[in-house]
Amino acid sequence: MKKLPFDSDQDLLSDIANGDSRAFEILYRRYFSKLYGAAYKRLQDKELTEEIVQELFVSLWERRASLPIENIENYLFTSIKYLVIAQFRKDTLFEKYSSTLNLDENDDNFTEQAVAFDELNEAYQQALQVIPERCREVFLLKRSGLSQKEISERLDISEKTVENQMTKALKILRGALKDYTALLILFTPDCVL
């Protein structure tokens, strides 16, 4: 039987890496609904879910030539999981920040502080993407409230590895956010960076 173009995900990946927009469109159609469903189940917001899935595909296209992807389905679902976690972190951080403000929105400093917070949050989100995948996973699980032991059991790694991954993640974040230290302390006084 003659092999059809784009038979497998690996064929699609190969063609996408070479800039084939038709292959990208096929991959998009193949996975959009599944990714949307997975994200919507957690976010319960149609617009936000669509935005996050679109963000994933835009990122995939922009980095198509440099992504070492072995299994596209695993890559996409892991990525959507991290984007959903990042959205929850962003929402939680914003709620925490908002609740600590004793400012009226008409106050002159409110807009300036809101812009500074958005800038800090954007820098944090970008810094998270610099952290290697496994290390970022450990970091996000720890930040979600799990203990080292729970993370160790969940990821089937030693507690020492969890500790090392956290140290590595914090070192990367400190370096990436060093220009934002004053803002970070202002907005998250209990932050341990």
CB 22 within 8 A of CB 54: no
Highest average pLDDT, of 6-15, 68-77, 151-160, comes from 151-160
Q: Is pLDDT above 90 for 75?
A: no
| Spatial CA neighbour of 90 closest among 135, 133, 55, 57 | 55
User: Is 130 in the same domain as 182?
Assistant: yes
Residues 107 and 190 in one domain: yes
Band of the pLDDT at 112, cuts 50, 70, 90?
low
The predicted model gives 110-125 an average pLDDT of 68
Task: Judge whether 27 lies within some domain.
Answer: yes
Instruction: Identify the domain containing residue 16 by its residue range.
Output: 9-83
pLDDT(53) > 50: yes
The pLDDT value recorded for residue 35 is 93
Do residues 75 and 105 both lie within one domain?
no
Say yes or no: 116 and 61 in one domain. no
Name the domain boundary from 56, 83, 110. Answer: 83
Q: Is residue 138 within 8 Å of residue 155, measured between CB atoms? A: yes
The pLDDT score that the predictor gives to residue 110 is: 54
User: Can you give the C-alpha Rg of the chain in angstroms?
Assistant: 20
Tell me, yes or no, whether 2 lies in a domain. Answer: no
Q: CB of 140 within 8 A of CB of 89?
A: yes
Q: Residue 180 is part of a domain; what is its CATH number? A: 1.10.10
Tally of structural domains, the chain: 2
Whether 132 and 187 map to the same domain: the answer is yes
- Where helices occur in the chain by DSSP H, the ranges are 9-17, 21-43, 46-62, 72-100, 108-130, 133-143, 148-155, 159-176, 181-187
Of 54, 83, 112, the residue at which a domain comes to its end is 83
d(CA 17, CA 9): 12
CATH at residue 19 = 1.10.1740.10
Whether residue 19 is contained in a domain is answered as yes
Using one digit for the tens of pLDDT, what is the confidence trace for 55-72? 888 888 888 888 778 888
* Model confidence band, residue 187 (pLDDT cutoffs 50, 70, 90): very low
